[in-house]
């Protein structure tokens, strides 16, 4: 029975989905092209970390890198025995999953063949975002078909009939005037008679004074 094989599968970094099968007893990881696994990223040191095969598994060790090596979010302060399913993070940009098994498309890391360095063109390739969905136009209001109402008919207040009180006051005024005139005539006659003005000019021509 063949011993259990392991691989590192890149999740984030220059080539997501890239698989590296681990078949050597000692594997160096870094940015330098002389490493067994070359990762061309600014967060990766020239010699960043090392994998050592031990008891059918692998021990991961940081080699004093600038940005550190992390396993499941915890920074390594010494050698760490990797377990299947753990995620290894180099710096902030590159993460790889430690998985068992063999992938036919995996890059073999052995004494007879070293992994080729990553192309910087792949890392610089821009990510094309999908176009934003166009907003759906809002529904136009439906014409209800109502006929607009015509202008309201003008309102006229009914003419009020002359009040009877006005006519009564008119009659009363005329009556008062007649009374005043009568009193005036009586008063004038009384004065004429009292002063005997009938026989004084020019009234003596009007009245027969003997």
Quick one: 118 and 177 in the same domain? no
Indicate if the alpha-carbon torsion angle 28, 95, 84, 106 is positive or negative. negative
Quick one: 176 and 117 in the same domain? no
Q: In the structure encoding, which two tokens stand for residue 18, read together?
A: 């890239």
Quick one: 51 and 109 in the same domain? yes
The strand pair at 69-71 and 80-81 is best described as: unpaired
Quick one: 40 and 101 in the same domain? yes
| CATH code of 28's domain | 2.60.200.20
Q: What is the pLDDT along the chain (210 residues), one digit of tens a residue?
A: 566 889 999 999 999 999 999 999 999 999 999 999 999 999 999 999 999 999 889 999 999 999 999 999 999 999 999 999 999 999 999 999 999 976 455 555 544 444 444 444 444 454 445 556 666 666 665 555 555 565 666 666 666 555 566 777 888 888 888 888 888 877 877 776 777 666 666 666 666 655
Q: Is 136 inside any structural domain? A: no
Residue after which a domain boundary falls, among 68, 98, 124: 124
Check residue 182 and give its pLDDT: 84
Check residue 95 and give its pLDDT: 96
Check residue 135 and give its pLDDT: 63
Global pTM reads: 0.49
Which residues make beta-bridge pairs with 98?
8
Q: In the structure encoding, which two tokens stand for residue 150, read together?
A: 């015509």
Q: Is 147 inside any structural domain? A: no
Quick one: 81 and 173 in the same domain? no
Nearest to 22, CA basis, from 79, 107, 91, 105: 107
Q: Is 180 inside any structural domain? A: yes
Quick one: 115 and 23 in the same domain? yes
- What's the chain's average pLDDT? 77
Residue after which a domain boundary falls, among 76, 101, 124: 124
Residue after which a domain boundary falls, among 67, 98, 124: 124
Q: Is 154 inside any structural domain? A: no
Q: What is the pLDDT of residues 134-178, one digit of tens each?
A: 666 666 655 555 555 656 666 666 665 555 667 778 888 888 888
Quick one: 113 and 169 in the same domain? no
Identify the domain containing residue 75 by its residue range. 6-124
Quick one: 24 and 110 in the same domain? yes
Q: Is 101 inside any structural domain? A: yes
Quick one: 119 and 36 in the same domain? yes
Check residue 194 and give its pLDDT: 74
Q: Is 143 inside any structural domain? A: no
Quick one: 86 and 178 in the same domain? no
Check residue 207 and give its pLDDT: 60
Quote the number of domains for the chain.
2
Check residue 113 and give its pLDDT: 42
Quick one: 111 and 58 in the same domain? yes
Quick one: 13 and 108 in the same domain? yes
The strand pair at 80-81 and 107-109 is best described as: unpaired
């Amino acid at each position: 029975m063949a011993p259990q094989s392991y691989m590192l599968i890149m999740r984030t970094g220059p080539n997501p989905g890239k698989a590296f099968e681990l078949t050597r007893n000692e594997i160096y990881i870094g940015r330098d092209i002389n490493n067994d696994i070359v990762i061309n990223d600014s967060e990766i040191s020239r010699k960043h970390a090392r994998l050592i095969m031990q008891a059918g598994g692998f021990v991961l060790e940081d080699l004093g890198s600038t940005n550190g090596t992390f396993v499941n979010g915890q920074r390594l302060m010494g050698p760490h025995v990797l377990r299947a399913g753990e995620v290894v993070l180099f710096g902030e940009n590159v993460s790889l999953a430690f998985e068992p098994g063999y992938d036919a498309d995996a890059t073999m890391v052995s004494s007879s063949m070293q992994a080729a360095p990553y192309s910087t063109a792949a890392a610089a390739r821009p990510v094309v975002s999908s176009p934003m969905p166009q907003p759906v136009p809002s529904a136009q209001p439906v014409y209800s078909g109502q006929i607009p109402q015509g202008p309201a008919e003008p309102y006229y207040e009914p003419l009020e009939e002359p009040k009877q009180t006005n006519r009564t006051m008119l009659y009363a005024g005329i009556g008062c005037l007649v009374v005043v005139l009568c009193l005036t005539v009586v008063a004038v006659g009384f004065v004429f008679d009292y002063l005997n003005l009938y026989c004084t000019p020019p009234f003596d021509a009007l009245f027969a004074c003997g």
